[in-house]
């Protein structure tokens, strides 16, 4: 099988997230890392019921999945996986990576994560196995320090991506307050939020 770096091994980026909703910060991060690391593909993996957020109300998985599909559909390098949604229950990154590893036995996996999530990396379960399953790429995010303190040597790359001060939390608040989210999220996602009347409470 071909690969973007010519070694024959496919290089697959993995972008996990709640994507409630997916926004241009996610898409720019994935695109930038794909170029920098010569990835063949980036798989977006919307969470099932995220344990970090289980105390809050999270939009139904099918809506988050469809918004992620709409946002990525035009990019031939981007795809969306249902593995975390279909597994059911809370999503652990270790399960995401184990399942993707089983489905892509000879690929190199690159887990892409924002600086905010990276700083919690060692609080994740099974940290050692995580680093064996994938290379971790921490990307800059406005308001969060991109620091590798305490992270295993060689297991993590830190990269600067064009800074977009966009968060899903802010997008939801804007919709609730009647403010526009045009150009913060893809056009089709604006339409979908409207059609399904998401984030209105």
Tell me how far, at minimum, the Cβ of 19 lies from ligand ATP, in Å.
5
Q: Whose Cβ is closer to ligand ATP: residue 132's or residue 173's?
A: 173
- Residue 167 sits in the site that holds ligand ATP (CB under 6 A): yes
Q: 32: Cβ–Cβ under 8 A, 6 or more apart, which residues? A: 139, 159, 161, 162
Q: Which stretch binds ligand ATP (CB under 6 A): 23-31, 68-76, 102-110, 191-199?
A: 23-31
- Residue 157 sits in the site that holds ligand ATP (CB under 6 A): no
Site for ligand ATP in 171-200 (CB under 6 A): none
Q: Whose Cβ is closer to ligand ATP: residue 7's or residue 35's?
A: 35
Tell me how far, at minimum, the Cβ of 179 lies from ligand ATP, in Å.
16
Neighbours of 90 (CB within 10 A): 15
Q: Whose Cβ is closer to ligand ATP: residue 10's or residue 117's?
A: 117
Site for ligand ATP in 92-151 (CB under 6 A): 113-114, 116-117, 139, 141
Q: Whose Cβ is closer to ligand ATP: residue 10's or residue 141's?
A: 141
- Residue 20 sits in the site that holds ligand ATP (CB under 6 A): yes
Q: Whose Cβ is closer to ligand ATP: residue 48's or residue 114's?
A: 114
Output the 3-class SS for the chain: CCCCCCCCCCEEEEEEECCCCCCHHHHHHHHHHHHHCCCCEEEEEECCCCHHHCCCCCCCHHHHHHHHHHHHCCCCCEEECCHHHHHCCCCCHHHHHHHHHHHCCCCEEEEEEEHHHHCCHHHCCCHHHHHHHCEEEEECECCECCCCCCCCCCCEEEECCCCCCCCHHHHHHHHHCCCCCECCECHHHHHHHHHCCCCCC
Tell me how far, at minimum, the Cβ of 119 lies from ligand ATP, in Å.
10
Interacting residues toward ligand ATP by CB under 6 A:
17-20, 25-26, 29, 113-114, 116-117, 139, 141, 164, 166-169
């Amino acid at each position: 099988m071909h690969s973007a770096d010519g070694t024959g091994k496919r290089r697959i980026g993995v972008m996990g997230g709640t994507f409630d909703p997916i926004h241009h910060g996610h898409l720019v991060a994935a695109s930038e890392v794909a170029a920098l690391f010569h990835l063949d593909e980036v798989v977006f993996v919307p969470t099932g019921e995220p344990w970090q957020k289980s105390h809050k109300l999270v939009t139904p998985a099918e809506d988050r999945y469809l918004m992620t599909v709409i946002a990525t559909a035009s990019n031939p390098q981007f795809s969306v996986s249902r593995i975390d949604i279909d597994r059911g229950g809370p999503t652990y990154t270790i399960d995401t990576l184990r399942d993707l590893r089983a489905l892509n036995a000879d690929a190199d996996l690159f887990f892409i994560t924002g600086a905010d999530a990276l700083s919690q990396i060692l609080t994740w379960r099974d940290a050692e196995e995580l680093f064996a399953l994938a290379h971790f790429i921490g990307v800059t995010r406005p308001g969060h320090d991109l620091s590798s303190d305490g992270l295993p040597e060689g297991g993590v790359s830190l990269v600067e991506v064009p800074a977009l001060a966009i968060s899903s939390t802010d997008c939801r608040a804007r919709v609730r307050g009647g403010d526009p989210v045009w150009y913060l999220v893809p056009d089709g996602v604006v339409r979908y939020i409207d059609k399904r009347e998401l984030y209105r409470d």
